[in-house]
Amino acid sequence: MDQHQALLTYCLRRGDDNLILSHRLGEWCGHGPQLEEDIALTNRALDLIGQARNYLQYAAEVEGKGRTEDDLAFLRSERQFVNTMLVEQLNGDYAHTICRSFLYDAWHLPLQQALTKSADERIAAIAGKAVKEVSYHLRTSSEWMIRFGDGTEESHVRAQTALDALWTFTGDLFVQDDVDAILVKAGVVPDMAPIRSAFDKTVETVLAEATLERPVDGHMATGGRQGKHSEHLGYLLAEMQYLQRAHPGAQW
């Protein structure tokens, strides 16, 4: 694999993470627990769509085969998606949705902060814009974790249940392979070790305040970066891609 191929894959991974999580959050649109929270959550979904577009546009340019961001989003199949497994997990109850975002945000913020120093100017610029948005995402998801964990007995149980269920997908966030090795060497992307430390620190601080227990690191489900997903992604794509599949090239 050369650096060009690695860069393409890396952009797809970043784009897919944001696209799939955005779609999941968007599923709450009109169903949020409060009107205000409904708007806040879908605002965050829109932030993520914007970040996904930035990375998929760049991926399309790097690939240079005439595909567009829309082709990449709507005409790739499940095994061609390289998002981390965490983001495709079902919404569940609101604690589950928030916990999934919290774990993602706790990893996403230090990653985007590090990417602002990327040797690739385009990636540095994308990250520079994303950092402000992601800082806010982490703040709100942390606050909700604390509200749930340190709230009522029921909210505490729901938050802990969500955390226990999702923890197995956190390992996939830190998997590094040839793609990362080539780009780390070129100074395009950061090594994961400091990102892991930042993630651990955020999780420790927030869970302590939320009176929640950090699950034990047991078996970690990995494979998202190689296109191996849980059963949920196929259904998500079937819904997300339906229109472009049924009416190719449809516009409005």
Partner 1 sequence: MSENPNNWPLWEVFIQSKRGLDHKHVGSLHAADAQMAIENARDVYTRRQEGNSIWVVPASAISASNHDDGGMLFDPADDKTYRHPTFYQMPEGAKYI
Cβ(170)–Cβ(220) below 8 Å: yes
The token pair at 30 is: 């009109």
What is the C-alpha to C-alpha distance for residues 71 and 68, in angstroms, rounded to an integer? Answer: 5
- DSSP H helices, the chain, are 3-26, 35-63, 69-74, 85-88, 94-115, 121-149, 153-166, 178-185, 192-209, 232-240, 242-246
Span near partner 1 by CB under 8 A; candidates 29-37, 181-189, 200-208, 228-236: 29-37
The token pair at 97 is: 């949705």
Residue selected from 27, 143, 150, 209 as contacting partner 1 according to rule CB under 8 A? 143
Residue selected from 35, 216, 246, 250 as contacting partner 1 according to rule CB under 8 A? 35
The token pair at 119 is: 């040797």
- 36 touching partner 1, by CB under 8 A: yes
The binding track of 185-224 with respect to partner 1, each residue x by CB under 8 A or -, is ----------------------------------------
- The Cα-based distances of 202 to 15, 22, 110 in angstroms read 24, 22, 10
Q: Which of residues 112-141 bind partner 1 (CB under 8 A)?
A: 140
- 243 touching partner 1, by CB under 8 A: no
Residue selected from 147, 156, 196, 228 as contacting partner 1 according to rule CB under 8 A? 147
Residue selected from 40, 75, 125, 198 as contacting partner 1 according to rule CB under 8 A? 40
3-state SS assignment for residue 176: coil
Residue selected from 3, 43, 91, 230 as contacting partner 1 according to rule CB under 8 A? 43
Span near partner 1 by CB under 8 A; candidates 31-39, 49-57, 99-107, 199-207: 31-39
Contacting residues toward partner 1, per CB under 8 A: 34-37, 39-40, 43, 140, 143, 147
